Amino acid sequence: MAQHRDTPHLAQRKGFPWSRVVIYGLLGFFGLIYLLPLIVMILTSLKPLPEIYAGSMIALPQHWTVEPWIDAWERSCVGLNCNGIKGYFWNSTKMTVLAVVISTGIGLLNGYVLTKWKFKGANLLFGLILFGCFIPFQIVLIPMAHLLGKMGIASSTTGLVFVHVVYGLCFTTLYARNYYMAFPDELVRAAMIDGARFFSIFWRILLPNSAPIIIVTVIWQFTNIWNDFLFGASFSTGESAPMTVALNNLVNSSTGERPYNVHMAAAMIAALPTLLVYIFGGRYFVRGLMAGSVKG
Amino acid sequence: MASLEIKGVKKRFGTQEILKGIDISVDAGEFLVLVGPSGCGKSTLLNMIAGLDTVSEGDIVVAGNRVNDLHPSERDIAMVFQSYALYPNMSVEQNIAFSMEMRKVPKPEREAAVRDVAKILQLEHLLKRRPSQLSGGQRQRVAMGRALVRKPKIFLFDEPLSNLDAQLRVDMRTEIKKLHQRLGTTIVYVTHDQIEAMTLATRIAVMRGGELQQLGTPAELYNRPANTFVAGFMGSPRMNLAPAQLVGAGDNLSLEIQLGERPKARIPLPPQPEPLRAYAGKPVIAGLRAEAISYGSKANGAGNSLQRKVEAQVEVIEPTGPDTLVVLDLGGYEFTARLDPDLTLKPGDRAEFNVDLAKLVCFDPGTERLIA
């Protein structure tokens, strides 16, 4: 036993710490491999075009330039239109923000009703909502196109917002419901005795204590909706297309010598919002996902 | 005037009857404690008074108004919860003022009311803190403050002390009793702790399996329990209960306690009232409190005519400090006696003990009800 207790001293042994070198060396190596695509993208987007065709992919630019980024934003051609991707970026922003806010709001309200105002069949209803999480995108394409047409919002940002809200509700409801399951009923009962009604209990008692789960649903919804391609390609046309669809069109519509630097810059711009959301919300994400799973 | 009337209240979940018709009338200023083992329906009854649970049958009347169909906030009641249920996102001040905010009381009035309550409960220095920054006892006081500020007709307490450690629980118990004495508001208090019930209540309602077992003052419940359940539930150590045979007739009745072939214990009784005389020659269940058995010269009620001598064997000795609990073998049954701490007895000793029959109670072995 005594020998076992001494084991930690091995690490403090005099001499060169070879094991550390190996561990950090391997970690660094695989980290680099993991980052390589990003590095290539960033380097390529900062090089003039001749350099790309002349040199190696991972060579540093000889002339640093942000011209490709400006080109992508202002002047690149998507289809026949050469106004850059900025319009599509705003399409995506509008669509994503609206869809995230609406689906998160309704999801939280659903979770509140399903846990704190239980009615007959609440669990069955929740089961059905949960089932919605497993419906593949492709199945709903044709019926959804039909419905959007009937509602008169086909090929518009409104239509896309609607689709994403409907599809996202299953997930936001699931998250909110599980979070509110662990929310003490006594608080709701105390608020009732204090004179709060349905909406004031939600607004004053539950919502202010929902930050972890709001962050989780916002990140989840934001990345899914911003990155979605299938719905965007199916339910939008031309000017109303979201960023992902525009990026695809941009890459496909260039003729002659392909401006890889502009493509890379555009792809970086397209990926930036989700990256930022992760950086600022990421540490709450895991914490929120775990919330409620362990008591206390 | 009755401040709260519970009239034939029943509660059903599906086909299962949780409360089987409860009738209690509480006078203004009373401190009623609902006590019973878990699952007896006491919390359900409290929730029904509060309006957090629906009434299946019967009426709940607060200060003359039937409140069955009123929202909890309109019943003129306030409730303190077991977990305190403080809103974690609000400061102490906001917690206390929340009910007034919901009723749209103007801000200056709200602040004045919060100050008054904070003064009563000594919370003034904590008003800006969040519940998470408070100790258990402080949270408890905030929870009471939230109830107090509404000046309700009735306070409801749902096991408010069960989350506190033993020492704090005793302190808060005194605190609650002081508060009741000062405010004089009607209180309905739920607990499973019979000591809490005895110390706080002006009246106690003992419940079991959705039925009211007995409703009375702490002294009534302690001295004249309505049945063997109440006898065993109230008091610590619990009342000694043993099957016995009532022998003799008229004014010369005796109790014989004997298990199998063990030595028989025979206790001659003083003249008994008519109902018990009717049991002459029949079995009964004899109930005797631990403090009714004494030893040596320091006999409880020594010299009075209801004192009898009985021989028993010492089985176990449990010192508690102020007194020593001695488990005796009396006619084969275990009897606990509360004796003097400076006791010279040892386990295995046979000795003569004094039994004070003034507080002897007998129960019918079939119905388990008090014979009176």
> What is the secondary structure of B149-169 as a DSSP string?
TT--SEEEEESTTTTS-HHHH
- Which domain, by its residues, includes A30? 16-65
* Residues A135, A25 within the same domain: no
**Of B214, B233, B252, which residue is a domain's last?**
B233
* Residues B98, B173 within the same domain: yes
Quick: pLDDT tens for A231-288. 999 998 888 899 999 999 888 876 677 888 899 999 999 999 998 888 887 777 766 6
* Residues B77, B226 within the same domain: yes
Taking residues B67-81, report their average pLDDT.
Answer: 92
- What Rg value do the Cα atoms of chain A yield, rounded? 25
Inter-chain CB proximity B146 and A209 less than 8 Å: no
What is the model's pLDDT at position A53?
86
d(CA B86, nearest CA chain A) in Å: 7
Quick: pLDDT tens for B214-249. 999 999 999 999 999 999 999 888 999 999 999 887
Among A203, A169, A204, A180, residue whose Cα is nearest residue A116: A180
What is the model's pLDDT at position A295?
38
Which CATH number goes with the domain that contains A236? 1.10.3720.10
Give the helix ranges, DSSP H, for A121-259: 122-132, 137-151, 157-181, 185-193, 198-201, 211-227, 230-235, 243-253
Task: Tell me the residues of A at the B interface, defined by beta carbons under 8 Å apart.
Answer: 184, 186-187, 189-196, 200, 204-205, 208-209
Which CATH number goes with the domain that contains B328? 2.40.50.140
Taking residues B337-351, report their average pLDDT.
Answer: 88
* Residues A214, A172 within the same domain: yes
Please indicate, yes or no, if residue B279 is contained in any of the structural domains.
Answer: yes
Please indicate, yes or no, if residue B368 is contained in any of the structural domains.
Answer: no
* Residues B202, B244 within the same domain: no
Quick: pLDDT tens for B101-114. 999 999 999 999 99
* Residues A202, A112 within the same domain: yes
d(CA B275, CA B270): 14
d(CA A110, CA A176): 8
CB contact set of B77 (below 8 Å; sequence gap of 6+) = A193, B49, B50, B51, B62, B152, B153, B154, B155, B156
The CB-based long-range contact list for B64-73 (8 Å cut-off, 24+ gap) reads B64/B1, B71/A192, B72/A189, B72/A192, B72/A193, B73/A192, B73/A193, B73/A194, B73/A195, B73/A196, B73/B99, B73/B102, B73/B103
**Of B180, B210, B233, which residue is a domain's last?**
B233
Q: Are A153 and A88 in contact (CB under 8 A)?
A: no
* Residues B222, B252 within the same domain: no
- Chain B residue with CA closest to A117: the answer is B52
What is the model's pLDDT at position B271?
84
Contacts of B83 in chain A (CB under 8 A): 184, 186
* Residues A123, A238 within the same domain: yes
Would the pLDDT of B159 be above 70?
Answer: yes
Contacts of A212 in chain B (CB under 8 A): none
CB-CB: which of B87, B89, B102 is closest to A195? B102
* Residues A37, A159 within the same domain: no
Please indicate, yes or no, if residue A24 is contained in any of the structural domains.
Answer: yes
* Helices B92-102 & B107-120 angle (0-180, nearest 10): 130
Most confident of A2-16, A162-176, B260-274: A162-176
- Chain A residue with CA closest to B51: the answer is A193
Quick: pLDDT tens for A100-146. 999 999 999 999 999 999 899 999 999 999 988 898 888 889 999 99
- Which domain, by its residues, includes B274? 240-363
* Residues A43, A161 within the same domain: no
The total number of structural domains in chain A stands at 2
Please indicate, yes or no, if residue B372 is contained in any of the structural domains.
Answer: no
Flag whether the ipTM exceeds 0.85. no
**CB of B73 less than 8 A from some CB of A:** yes
Please indicate, yes or no, if residue B369 is contained in any of the structural domains.
Answer: no
The total number of structural domains in chain B stands at 2
Please indicate, yes or no, if residue B269 is contained in any of the structural domains.
Answer: yes
Contacts of B89 in chain A (CB under 8 A): 205, 208-209
Quick: pLDDT tens for A167-195. 999 999 999 999 999 899 999 999 999 99
Among A286, A142, A161, residue whose Cα is nearest residue A226: A161
pLDDT band at B188; cut points 50, 70, 90: very high
Please indicate, yes or no, if residue B208 is contained in any of the structural domains.
Answer: yes
Please indicate, yes or no, if residue A79 is contained in any of the structural domains.
Answer: no
pTM of the model: 0.82
Min mean pLDDT across A12-21, A55-64, B78-87, B172-181 is at A12-21
